[in-house]
């Protein structure tokens, strides 16, 4: 009996996407089915370029065809990706951006900007289109971490007569920071409304184009900047960066609670524990938990969110940031592999969030 497209789709309807908990056919992840005798080829559209379950899904598809259609079938599974989004195509602001991710911390000094920089590069290396806004107006560090301190964005006029800022590009990532607009040695001493206005300009008056992910590196704590963000654009989800010790976790909990407040209601994608353990370069297999252990896990269990990863405290991460070459770019670095795993976890959680939750709404501005 000849193999039909319906036979293939029926078999693949029994293959489940592990993260989303639904079958590939229901999720519209199967395209371009071609049948030539016993040769069967089709394309699986993954929800993220960073999908770590690619081989698992491919093998499950091959087994389903052989088991339910023809055991002698020659199956070719082509894998590609299309990042999901909970945003509409007609969004007035940042309409070309699929996912807006806030990266926050309860306190300073936990390495949030280092984590954000490496996360952005890791996502871009996986094939995603990525942008990054440095929203820490008073302490911008993204220009240093990307080695673009001396770069200055230019302004151009669109055919519609609107002036837009052209973001700086480095390592395939579009960047915007107050550090590009003020001398590095100058202190930016602004009241809340001025800082909020700058963030709004970075969001609404920058030519971001089409992106899969726009990461927002927020200042520490909870402030006007955080409120401005959620009142300007619908945020897909938030990531909380912390270190293991008790004082950092107490502040991280406050940052997490802010996004969980009913009037804000931004999904928390997970927690990243930075400086989780110290590993000396000469003893790469050794781990010394100088800040304690289990802190992020306890916080995650309390608030029922996942731990996205544990980043080690190693000298090369600091050196890479100072040199403007994020650690994840080093092919021989164990820490780079950890950042790649964290990026995969983030991409997974974005896909799960977009499949299972309603889209985030802009927080209304209430005036008395």
Does 366 fall in a domain? Answer: no
Q: How many domains does the chain have?
A: 2
Q: What is the CATH number of the domain that holds 63?
A: 3.30.300.130
Q: Is 200 annotated as a binding residue?
A: no
User: Is residue 208, in this structure, part of any structural domain at all?
Assistant: yes
Give yes or no: residues 208 and 299 share one domain: yes
Assess whether 247 and 348 both reside in one domain.
yes
Q: What angle do CA 284, 288, 291 make, to 5 degrees?
A: 135
- Known binding residue 113? Answer is yes
Helices 5-12, 54-68: inter-axial angle, 10-degree rounding: 130
Sorting pLDDT into bands at 50, 70 and 90, what band is 39? Answer: very high
Identify the DSSP state of 255: H
Please count the CA atoms within 13 angstroms of the CA of 315 that sit on its side-chain side: 5
Output the pLDDT for position 89.
60
Distance CA 297, CA 240 (A): 12
Q: What is the residue range of 43's domain?
A: 5-81
Give the confidence band of 238 by pLDDT, cuts at 50, 70, 90.
Answer: very high
**Average pLDDT estimate for 73-98:** 84
For residue 263, pLDDT beyond 90 = no
Structural domain includes residue 185: yes
Last-in-domain residue among 56, 81, 106: 81
Cβ distance 55 to 21 under 8 Å? no
Per DSSP bridges, beta strands 97-104 and 163-165 are unpaired
Residue 354 has pLDDT above 60, yes or no: yes
Shared domain for 244 and 170, answered yes or no, is yes
Q: What is the pLDDT of residue 66?
A: 94
What 3-state DSSP class applies to 164?
strand
- Does residue 110 have a known ligand-binding role? yes
Concatenated DSSP letters for 76-93? Answer: EEEEEE----SS-TT-SS
**What is the percent of the chain with per-residue pLDDT over 90, rounded to a whole number?**
52
Q: Is the pLDDT of residue 92 over 90?
A: no
Per-residue pLDDT band for 181 (boundaries 50, 70, 90) equals: confident
Q: d(Cα 333, Cα 337) in Å, to the nearest integer?
A: 7
Residue 112 counted as an annotated binding residue: yes
Specify the 3-state DSSP secondary structure of 202: helix
Look at residues 209, 150, 143 and name the one whose alpha carbon lies nearest to residue 176: 143
Please report the beta strands in 82-161, taking only residues with DSSP state E, as ranges in sequence order. Answer: 97-104, 130-134, 155-157
Assess whether 63 and 142 both reside in one domain: no
DSSP 328: G
Last residue of a domain, one of 55, 81, 107: 81
Lowest mean pLDDT among 162-166, 339-343, 354-358: 354-358
Identify whether residues 114 and 232 lie together within a single domain.
Answer: yes
Q: Do residue 257 and residue 327 come from a single domain?
A: yes
pLDDT band at 97 (very low <50, low <70, confident <90, very high): very high
pLDDT at 363: 78
Q: Which helix (H) or strand (E) holds 301?
A: helix 295-303
Q: Which residue has the higher pLDDT, 307 or 197?
A: 307
CATH of the domain at 136: 3.40.50.300
pLDDT(368) > 60:
no
**Do 175 and 134 meet the contact criterion of CB atoms below 8 Å apart?**
yes
111 labeled binding residue: yes
Residues 102 and 204 in one domain: yes
Q: What is the pTM of this model?
A: 0.87
Using an 8 Å Cβ cutoff, are 291 and 243 in contact?
yes
State the DSSP code for 27. T
**112 neighbors 241 (Cβ within 8 angstroms):** yes
Planar angle of CA 152, 154, 158, nearest 5 degrees: 160
- Considering the domain architecture, whether residues 105 and 69 belong to the same structural domain is answered as no
88 is an annotated ligand-binding site residue: no
């Amino acid at each position: 009996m000849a193999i039909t497209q319906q036979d293939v789709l029926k078999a693949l309807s029994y293959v489940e996407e592990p993260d989303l908990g639904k079958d590939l056919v229901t999720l519209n992840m199967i395209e371009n089915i071609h049948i030539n005798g016993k040769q069967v080829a089709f394309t699986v559209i993954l929800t993220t370029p960073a999908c770590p379950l690619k081989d698992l899904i491919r093998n499950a598809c091959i087994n389903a065809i052989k088991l339910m259609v023809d055991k002698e079938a020659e199956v070719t599974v082509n894998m590609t990706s299309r990042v999901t989004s909970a945003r509409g195509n007609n969004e007035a602001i940042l309409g070309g951006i699929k996912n807006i991710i806030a990266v926050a911390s309860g306190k300073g000094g936990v390495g949030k900007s280092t984590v954000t920089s490496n996360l952005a590069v890791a996502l871009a290396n996986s094939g995603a289109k990525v942008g990054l806004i440095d929203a820490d107006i008073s302490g911008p560090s993204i220009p240093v971490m990307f080695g673009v301190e001396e770069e200055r964005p230019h302004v151009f006029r669109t055919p519609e007569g609107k002036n837009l800022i052209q973001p700086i590009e480095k390592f395939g990532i579009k960047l915007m920071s107050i550090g590009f607009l003020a001398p590095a040695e100058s202190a930016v001493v602004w009241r809340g409304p001025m800082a909020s206005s700058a963030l709004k300009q970075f969001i609404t008056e920058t030519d971001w184009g089409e992106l899969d992910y726009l990461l927002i590196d927020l200042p520490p704590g909870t402030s006007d900047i955080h409120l401005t963000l959620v009142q300007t654009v619908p945020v897909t989800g938030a990531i909380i960066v912390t270190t293991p010790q008790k004082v950092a976790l107490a502040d991280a909990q406050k940052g997490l609670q802010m996004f969980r407040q009913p009037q804000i209601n931004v999904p928390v994608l997970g927690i990243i524990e930075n400086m989780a353990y110290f590993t000396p370069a000469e003893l790469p297999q050794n781990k010394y938990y100088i800040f304690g252990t289990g802190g992020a896990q306890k916080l995650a269990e309390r608030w029922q969110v996942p731990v996205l990863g544990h980043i080690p405290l190693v000298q090369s991460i600091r050196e890479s940031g100072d040199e403007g070459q994020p650690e994840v770019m080093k092919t021989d670095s164990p820490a780079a592999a950890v950042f790649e795993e964290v990026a995969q976890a983030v991409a997974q959680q974005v896909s799960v969030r977009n499949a299972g939750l309603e889209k985030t709404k802009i927080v209304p501005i209430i005036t008395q």
